[in-house]
Amino acid sequence: MKFSLSWLQQYLETDATAEEVAARLNAIGLEVEGIEDPAEKLAGFRVAKVLTAAKHPDADKLQVLSVDTGDGQPLQVVCGAPNARAGLVGVLGLPGASVPANGMVLRKSAIRGVESNGMMCSTRELELGEDHDGIIELPEDAPVGTPFAEYHGADPVIDVAITPNRPDCMGLYGIARDLAAAGLGTLKPIEHLDIPGAFPCPVEIRTDDPEGCPAFYGRVIKGVKNGPSPQWLQDRLKAAGQRPISALVDATNYVMLTYGRPAHAYDLAKLNGAVFARRAQDGETVLALNEKEYTLDSDMTVIADDSGVHDIAGIMGGEHSGCEDGTTDILLEIAYFDPERIARTGRKLNLTSDARARFERGIDPDFLDQGLAHLTKLIQTLCGGEASGVVRAGAAPTAPKVVQFDPALTGKLGGVAVPLEEQQRILEALGFTVVAGEAWAVTVPGWRPDVDGAPDLVEEVVRIHGLDKVESVALPRTDGVARPTATPAQKLERRVRRAAAARGLHEAVTWSFLPQAEADVFSEGNGGLWTLSNPISEDMKVMRPSLLPGLLSAVKRNLDRGASSLRLFELGRRYLRGKAGASDERMTLGVVLAGEKAPRGWATGKAVPFDAYDAKAEALALLADAGAPADKLQVMGEAGPQFHPGQSGTLRLGPRNVLARFGMLHPTAARQFDIEGPVAVVEIYLDAIPGKKGAATFARSSYAPPALQAVTRDYAFLVPADLPAGDLVRVVQGADKANIVSARLFDDFRGQGVPEGQKSLALEVTLQPLEKSYKEDDLKAITAKVTAAAAKLGAVLRG
């Protein structure tokens, strides 16, 4: 809801500035989204008078003006406006000023060889209108040299975010009422109008749908003269974000914005017979004012005549019965519509409007007659005309709502002590009627449908009294050290996120929704996809079965923008179909490596791309940081059809428990994401990592370094050429768990001295003595265990 300060002051007697009004609105729960001061946009623009105008020596359509800016030193300005002439008083933009319409900063410049010291402005350039045919012409007595913002009377505009539970503040008068109750001025009462009809209404008005439209009032005004609204009305509508259309339409919008009361004006010449509210027929269509056609059903209320539908009731009027410049006779309609019916209709048609926003929240059912009277007076003031009598069909639900209220609840629920007389003053200032006693009987005004019970009254009292006066009280807390609140899963996520960042990976956050085509690439083996029945768009139709599609799309975007090397990771959930159709959400870590691992250089020659070993290294390192037993993992195939065969694999703890898959992306999958070049990917299933035994019951032991120095021994084995080196490392390390701390491959040789079909693998084995140093017999015994374990894989110790 936007409004100018002067517009507010028409209903609230106050000297408060825009900043003070905004501060008080925030204090009483009406959040101010911003203050726009047009004077700031008009800084640097001045009322100026053209002294002389001469033809530009080198341009037929330009003139060289001598302009008086009020400081005694005329400025030379080049201007192309056809109405520029000597004696004209207009608006000059000085060097350094920013043109509101396009943000251009004015400066001294030479135009066709002639110096120009600014610009004479049009209304469009200053965003004061749409006229761009010539420069602004001010009255001859306009004070030359005065800042234009001061002369124009630039009025601050306040933008308030109205929550759905405050329909009374969808009109400016409701905001003024709240401010007056909060002590920021005096509320001016709404003038009670009684405009008698000069003749009987010639149109039959009725409601054939009393559930959807309980009350339907109307009157005819003949002899109106439509046209542009006066400037004051246009300025107020523009301040509210409305586009002025014509005096008749602007009048209805003005009453809606002022009092929160939507209404509609029909061109009487375009109506046929009676005008009435009824249910729409299934399949019936209407062309709305937004020039779109809507198909209706029997659950919707419409306004129609004997020829057919004219309006979608309470939401938007029809195109063919609207008022135009030649309209002379009109029918004013003002009604009360069922809020739930309006909301359902708007959702079905996907149609929003200012009227719908107010009707579905609930308008004041007691303001039909006065709303019609105020609209009639405004139209007669703007357009003239003679009004008929009022025709009333049905009646609005005006039964008063009375709430029993114990003022002691304010202290109990609100946490602040407010004197009884202050509580009564606040409620009465907000329009409630209070009958005091042991328990107060509070009658709720019609413009507050959101108030249902005593807690709502407590809220009204506390917010007007001052939310800042509610004491901040800490929650009770027991003595001692606070227990940790992070779950093991949360701790794991934090640890893995830090580890990935420490390895030089950049975190990405992508959508949990994917296009169908991208999700299909990674849907294999996931038991089907979760498809949304009402997606935001086709690009967000399917819940992601893997984190890799989102990361690959991010890689594509970055490569397209010139990135040469990408190391991305994301920690999030993938969504699978569980048993009986239940959702199965699993925490996963995705890593994508693309582009150059190392740039070209004198040492490397060409740029070095990422390969499958880089992916494996990242997988092993991150699994180790996540707490997985990396030294016990087995490398196996079957990474999936998305991976390059022969350049991918899985890391498993046992034959079935897959902890990760890694490798190069299959070229077909890469083409699906329009990525050129090799891409290494990793997907780690954090939910598959087994927890440590006893982690929940035993404390971590303190670090105690061994007393004796470690011993290293090197072993070289001849093994079959197709034996994975990791298998040999694993069996050697497990040959003597009491003494062998680690085993590391440091050489892989194939060539002279190695039989064909075999290879030589050299391992460095670290031994850690515990109670005493090793003797030669101890080392021989350990070597015997190592060679025996390696022999199971067909490995023979080289001589």
Q: Which residues are annotated as a binding site for Mg(2+)?
A: 450, 456, 459-460
Nearest to 280 by CA among 339, 205, 352, 213: 213
* SS3 label, residue 661: strand
> In Å, how far are 212, 300, 301, 366, 565 from 341, measured between CA atoms?
6, 7, 8, 20, 57
Q: How many CA atoms lie within 13 A of 63 on its CB side?
A: 18
Burial letters 553-567, b for 16+ CB under 10 A, else e: bbbbebbeeeeebbb
Please spell the DSSP secondary structure of 396-419, one letter per residue: ---PPEEEEE-TTHHHHHHSS---
Nearest to 778 by CA among 698, 708, 687: 708
CA-based end-to-end distance of the chain: 90
* SS3 label, residue 335: strand
Q: Which residue has the tokens 């009465």?
A: 428
Cα–Cα distance measured from residue 309 to residue 385, given in angstroms and rounded to the nearest whole number: 27
Query: How does strand 309-312 pair with strand 301-304?
Result: antiparallel
Query: How does strand 275-279 pair with strand 205-207?
Result: parallel
Nearest to 261 by CA among 196, 172, 201, 165: 172
Q: CB–CB of 3/239 below 8 Å?
A: yes
Cα–Cα distance measured from residue 63 to residue 716, given in angstroms and rounded to the nearest whole number: 95
Q: What is the rounded radius of gyration, in angstroms, for the C-alpha atoms of the chain?
A: 40
Cα–Cα distance measured from residue 542 to residue 539, given in angstroms and rounded to the nearest whole number: 8
Q: Which residue has the tokens 């019916």?
A: 341
Q: Give the full edge-to-edge strand order of the sheet including 45-55.
A: 75-79, 63-68, 45-55, 89-93, 119-120
> In Å, how far are 67, 130, 145, 588 from 126, measured between CA atoms?
19, 10, 18, 55
Burial letters 386-403, b for 16+ CB under 10 A, else e: ebbebbbbbebeeeeeeb
Q: CB–CB of 765/786 below 8 Å?
A: yes
Can you say which residues are annotated as belonging to the binding site? Answer: 450, 456, 459-460
* SS3 label, residue 303: strand
What is the torsional sign of CA 686, 687, 689, 690?
Answer: positive
What is the torsional sign of CA 563, 565, 570, 574?
Answer: positive
Q: Which residue has the tokens 């490398």?
A: 635
Nearest to 782 by CA among 725, 752, 741: 741
> In Å, how far are 716, 732, 773, 781, 782 from 777, measured between CA atoms?
20, 19, 11, 6, 9
Q: What token pair was written down for 317? A: 């009027």
Enumerate residues 6+ apart whose C-beta is below 8 A from 598.
604, 607, 608
> In Å, how far are 12, 253, 254, 337, 442 from 361, measured between CA atoms?
24, 18, 19, 11, 22
Q: How many C-beta atoms lie closer than 10 Å to residue 167's C-beta?
A: 24
Q: Give Cα 284 distance to the centre of its chain.
A: 36
